[in-house]
Structure 1
Amino acid sequence: MRAVVACLTWVFVVHAAAAQDAASTAAPMPDAAESSGPVTWELIQDDPEAARQAMSRRVDELLERRAADANVELAAIADDAEFLRRVFLDLTGAVPRVSQAREFLDGSSPDKRQRLIEHLLASPGHATHMANTWRNIMLPEGFAAEQITNVAGVQNWLRMQFVENLRYDRMVSDFLVATGGGDTGPALFYTAQELKPEKLASATARIFLGLQIECAQCHDHPFDRWKQADFWGYAAFFAQLRQPEMMNGQAVQLVDLERGDVTLPDTETVVPPRYPGTIDAVTDQRGSRRVQLAIWMASRDNPYLPRAAVNRVWAHLFGRGLVQPVDDLGEHNPPSHPQLFDELTHYFVDTGFDLRELMRMLTNTQAYQRTSAVADDPATAVELYAAMPVRPLTAEQLYDSLMRALLRQGASNAPAGFDNPLFDPRRQAFVARMQSRSRSALDYEAGVPQALMLMNGVEVAESVNSSNGLLAALEAPWFNDPQRMETLFLATLSRRPNSDEQAMFLEHIQTAEANNATERTAALGDVLWALLNSAEFAMNH
């Protein structure tokens, strides 16, 4: 039944190899400025649009200079189809609908990429995808199915911040001082860490500061500057946090007491609160310790928060951070492009800690819009951001893309006011089965589970043998076979078939129809199954 897959291996290799030629037909982009210089605060205030364009050119300038120094050739600009699929996955977490793909690919406006980016950043799907991404970062590994309502509380809170495009420094500050009640999301983060100062110190430093200070919990850090007293000085900010006893059905509540300290494990010496990277204890008694920490987090005196945010956004879009791992920005682990990292951080701060603006500026760069198809030394090209990487879809991206491509809707038993995807039992089961052994949201890797799920999973099996969904829609009499083929490709790969693919698949369908007119749907199911099992569908490229 699936013999057509044997031909697919050759076809998709040919398609990938030809991507560089196709990229030459992409809409032209302006050349990066030869020496534009850093973008100034004054320009950002006077003309934000000009500042954004200048910063995009500056990113390209610094990356191109580094690639030239290493004698690495820049990849071509991706064609419209490659860019379309990539930006939908990165900004909304799923492939485009057929109608969206057709509209973009058929458009002739020279600024259609810029307009698509604006549309996606303002869409509800962007807020949901960002909330899903940050929820995976914030919650500890394994904190999932058995805590679904709690997880949804965190997701809903995050989603509202992204809908409103709240300043990132304000979002972190609000997160840290949450007391529960109406702000159940942040409060549930605290309970997920069992309100233990050492766990909260490790988690918040990793998430918000990009620092792995947990090695200093029991002894001085062997590779970084952090001493044991630094770790416990930071943990002291959470030492006075308590959760009152609750009646059944009550929302989580948090209170800050006026007492509570941490001590060094070996000496029992009380450690006063101290901000990371400083030597003086915090003696200001205005507000709780968490309030004092939140004020410092959102201040310009905090050198870590904006750098950590910039590094995470860069990794989200480019596949790896300017510092890797993304949560290890210690002095022992310098950035790959120091000047670029510094200038991006200044831009982020000067534009008001605006995550959406940072993504807008970066997705408009030539660097982001380059193809992933390179002939020579792709690893080095990707490392220097001279080409885009090929990345496996996350479990959530894969499920949501399957549902969209197949015109299916997940089931939901969500309570009123909750984000529906988290309450889709099929989605939950799919994501759980696709988890890597480490269960780490930061280190997801595709492999055997993904391959088996696509080949034999119930979602795909039902859809390629279904009387509803995409295949049923294609039975409409106004479709001819070439149009059906085009729709299958647009739904799954966000592009039209090339001439070789068109000829091969049409022959398969017409052979089936010649044997039995009712076999056309089965033949279309074969093609759909093959497309869903292709590397091109399973990857973000």
Structure 2
Amino acid sequence: MLRMRHALSCWLVLTSWLLLAPLHAETSDEDRQAEMQAMADRIDALVQARLDAENIQPAPLASDGEFLRRVSLDLVGSIPTVAQTRAYLQDTAPDKRQKLVESLVHSPAHPTHMATTWRSLILEPTDDPLSLQNESGLQTWLRGKFAQNVRYDRLVEEFLTATQGNDGPGYFYAAQELKPELLAAETSRIFLGLRLECAQCHDHPFDRWKQHDFWGMAAFFAQLERPGDNNIGLARFDIVDRNRGEVTLPESDEVVPPAFPGTTVSYASLGGTRRQQLAIWMVSRDNPFMPRRAVNWAWSHMMGRGFVHPADDMSPQNKPSHPELLDELTTYFIRSGFDLRQLLQTIALTETYARSSEAVSQSQAPDELFARMAVKSLTPEQLFDALLKVGLLQPPNAMVENDPQRSQFVARMRTAGKDRTEFDTGMPQALAVMNGPPVSTATNVETSGLLKAMSAPFLSDEQRLNVLFLAAYSRTPNQQELDRYKQFLAEAEPDQQSAALGDVLWVLANSAEFMLNH
């Protein structure tokens, strides 16, 4: 079994490499940068063409501080430090934005953030300690793949054909209890952008999917089992592909053979186990769903919504807002060798991504036209790490994932919705931020490294306020803010100056500008 899987994996990698080698064998860094910029320019041209057709004026470019904070949150999952912000604001080089994006995608924090993002995409949130421990295995596996910048098609193939429980994907199968119907629904949603589960009990009333489509997909997972007495609750969860096991339509004896959704390709023409057959079809260059789903995810991650919205509902009935752009960006992604990092980097280089989030007129343009940047709420992980960075309680880019305080905060701030442009945070979450750690620690003069540094006697109130605003917002205060907070500090008793600074930081950390990615 292992020999067959290894042979299949080698065949997949070799075939893909041979197909793509002419495009990348001699590509220099300069040529690669030129390719990315050309694609970024093409994206901007197609988005602008749609805006012109609708007679809509796009928002102006965001300020340097806004862009720095936004791209840092999107690519490395945290806000920049004061030193990083100052350096970027003072940089006058015309290509500083390109250099910033390049440095971020090659930062050690980038694969960590991508792993956290994809773990949340793959698994439903949980507060169970054992489940959280098992989730960390998937987090570690994903981080390793993103750190190596493994081809996306290769990542999908490894995920679909995982057998050993100490490999991260093994826990995904455990979380779905090895049930074919659950595995079919989730893998279709995650990697194909198809919500086939709506056809589980009957033909979809509004879409093309039939019951046979759903159960044909489920049949690829019908021959899985745990070897021996392997316990489903253990962190190690091995999987065996048998040569027996079928699925039937609900309330009938009709056996449904494996079938790829939306295509007439026969699985019988492919070798290997059923999961390997599914992987071969799914990572094919001409797969009608997988590459487009990856591109739509990347656009949604960076822009707040995909060309198709919701991003995991790419049914043929759910038309994209920019079909030509989705097609061209998908072709670009395939030609790049399924390079997800390059795809994100390319989007970050566009003028579309760099636009301000402020409304440009009273009659707001529809969100799907991307006339301005969408405002996104921070994920619980992003918010926690941003608060720690403001308080200087840990080194920059250090992600203490197993910290109980971090886990408790993330659990309290977690919401049911996954759309970051919808703000469903309620009173319990707000109180957790306003009164609980780490905010109370970061704004306490006795424990905040930032506030202790601000107590130096040679610093003026204006200089102190500049530092606090740079830390929280990646910008300096405007004149109105400066005047108001200077007056607040001036009215404080001499022995309460540090406490007053803590109050200012508390206000900044609890503001919408801090808790949103804009």
Q: 1:201 to 1:537 in 2, by over 3 A?
A: same
**1:88 alignment partner, SS class:** helix
Describe the shift of the 1:142–1:441 C-alpha distance in structure 2 as closer, same or farther (beyond 3 A): farther
1:521 aligns with 2:498: yes
- Structure 2 CA distance for partners of 1:420 and 1:82, relative to 1, 3 Å: closer
Is contact 2:57-2:360 (8 Å) kept?
Answer: no
Q: Partner amino acid for 1:203?
A: E
Per-residue displacement from partner, 1:253-300 (whole Å, max 9, x unpaired)? 111111111111132111111111124642246211111111111112
Aligned to 1:423, the other structure's residue is in SS state: coil
CA shift in 2, pair 1:48/1:42, >3 Å: farther
- Identity over aligned residues, as a percent? 50
Q: Does residue 89 of the first structure (1) align with residue 73 of the second (2)?
A: yes
Distance 1:428 1:322, change over 3 A: same
* 2:57 maps to which of 73, 91, 108: 73
What pairs up with 1:209-288 in 2 under 5 angstroms?
209-244=192-227, 245-246=229-230, 251-279=236-264, 281-284=266-269, 286-288=271-273
Tell me the CA shift for residue 532 of structure 1: 1.1
Picking from 446, 461, 466, the partner of 1:486 is 466
Distance 2:207 2:509 in 1: 46
CA contact (8 A) 2:445 2:498 kept: no
- 1:392 correspondence with 2:377: yes
Equivalent-residue separation in structure 2 for 1:126 and 1:144 (angstroms)? 27
Paired with 2:191 and 2:48, the residues of 1 have a C-alpha distance of 30
Find the residue that maps to 1:458 and give its secondary structure.
coil
Q: How does 1:31-110 map to 2 (within 5 A)?
A: 47-110=31-94
2:96 to 112, 115, 121: 112
The one-letter code matched in structure 1 to 2:447 is N
Which has the higher mean CA deviation after the structures are superposed, 195-204 or 93-102? Answer: 93-102
In structure 2, C-alpha distance between the alignment counterparts of 1:374 and 1:81, rounded to whole Å: 18
Q: Secondary structure at the match of 1:108?
A: coil
The residue number in structure 2 matching 1:292 is 277
Q: Distance in 2 between matches of 1:383 and 1:476?
A: 49
Secondary structure of 2:383's aligned partner: helix
Please name the residue that 2:432 is paired with: 453
Aligned-pair distance for 1:477? 3.5
* SS across alignment from 1:422: coil
Q: How much has 1:99 moved relative to structure 2?
A: 0.9
Instruction: Indicate the larger mover: 312-321 or 480-489.
Output: 480-489
* 2:328 is equivalent to residue 346 of structure 1: no
Greater mean alpha carbon deviation, residues 173-182 or residues 396-405: 173-182
CA contact (8 A) 1:372 1:389 kept: yes
In structure 2, do the counterparts of structure 1 residues 324 and 145 end up closer, same or farther at CA, with 3 Å as the change threshold?
farther
Q: 2:407, 2:188 → 1: CA distance? A: 29
After superposition, the Cα gap between the structure-2 partners of 1:181 and 1:192, relative to the gap in structure 1 and judged at 3 Å, is: closer
Counting only pairs closer than 5 Å after superposition, residues 397-476 of structure 1 correspond to structure 2 as 397-409=382-394, 421-436=400-415, 438=416, 440=418, 445-469=424-448, 470-476=450-456
Equivalent position SS for 2:361: coil
* Cα separation, partners in 2 of 1:222 and 1:145, compared to 1, 3 Å: farther
Q: Which amino acid aligns with 1:432?
A: A
Instruction: Between 502-511 and 193-202, report the one with greater CA deviation.
Output: 502-511
**Which amino acid in structure 2 is aligned with residue 74 of structure 1?**
P
**How many residues matched?**
489
The residue type paired with residue 539 of structure 1 is: L
Once residues 249 and 220 of structure 1 are traced to their aligned partners in structure 2, the CA distance between those partners, rounded to angstroms, is 37
Report whether the alignment pairs 1:123 with 2:100.
no
Query: Which range moves more in the overlay, 451-460 or 496-505?
Result: 451-460
8 Å contact from structure 2 (residues 355, 373) kept in 1: yes
* Structure 1 residues 421 and 60: alpha-carbon distance in aligned structure 2, compared to 1, 3 A threshold: same
CA distance in 1, matches of 2:403, 2:423: 21
Q: Is the 8 A contact 1:137 1:441 kept in 2?
A: no
**Any unmatched runs of 5+ in structure 2?**
1-20
> How many Å apart are 1:464 and its aligned residue?
2.0
Deviation of 1:145 after TM superposition, in Å, equals 4.3
Question: 1:524 deviation in Å?
Answer: 0.5
What amino acid is the match of 1:68? Answer: D
Tell me how far apart the structure 1 counterparts of residues 120 and 32 of structure 2 sit (CA, whole Å): 32
Deviates more, 1:240-249 or 1:470-479: 240-249
CA contact (8 A) 1:488 1:528 kept: yes
SS of structure 1 residue aligned to 2:115: helix
Which TM-score applies when normalising by structure 2?
0.90
CA offset at residue 462 of structure 1?
2.6
Q: 1:466 to 1:319 in 2, by over 3 A?
A: same
Distance 1:288 1:213, change over 3 A: same
| 1:188 aligns to 2:167 (yes or no) | no
Residues 289/358 of structure 1: CA separation in 2 closer, same or farther (3 Å cut): same
Q: CA deviation at 1:336?
A: 0.6
Give the CA deviation at 1:142: 3.4
Shift, 1:447, TM fit: 4.0
Q: Kindly report which structure 2 residues correspond to 1:527-538, keeping only aligned pairs within 5 A, or say none.
A: 527-538=504-515
Matches within 5 A, 1:313-352: 313-352=298-337
- Alpha carbons 2:111, 2:143 under 8 Å: kept: yes
- Once the two structures are TM-superposed, the CA of residue 444 in structure 1 deviates from its matched residue by 6.4
CA shift at 1:174, angstroms? 0.5
TM-score normalised to the size of structure 1?
Answer: 0.86
Amino acid corresponding to residue 369 of structure 2 in structure 1: L
Code of the aligned partner of 1:92: V
Q: CA deviation at 1:441?
A: 7.2
CA contact 1:308–1:329 (8 Å) conserved in 2: yes
- C-alpha contact 1:240 1:258 (8 A) present in aligned 2: yes
Task: Pick one of 275, 288, 296 that aligns with 1:311.
Answer: 296
**What is the deviation of 1:181?**
4.5
Cα deviation digits, residues 474-498 of structure 1 (max 9, x gap)? 1234433222111111111111112
Q: Is the 8 A contact 1:393 1:446 kept in 2?
A: no
Letter matched to residue 495 of structure 1: R
RMSD: 2.3
* Residue aligned with 1:179, SS: coil
Partner of residue 495, structure 1 = 475
Measured in 2, the distance between the counterparts of 1:424 and 1:379 equals 42
Shift of residue 98, structure 1, vs aligned partner: 1.0
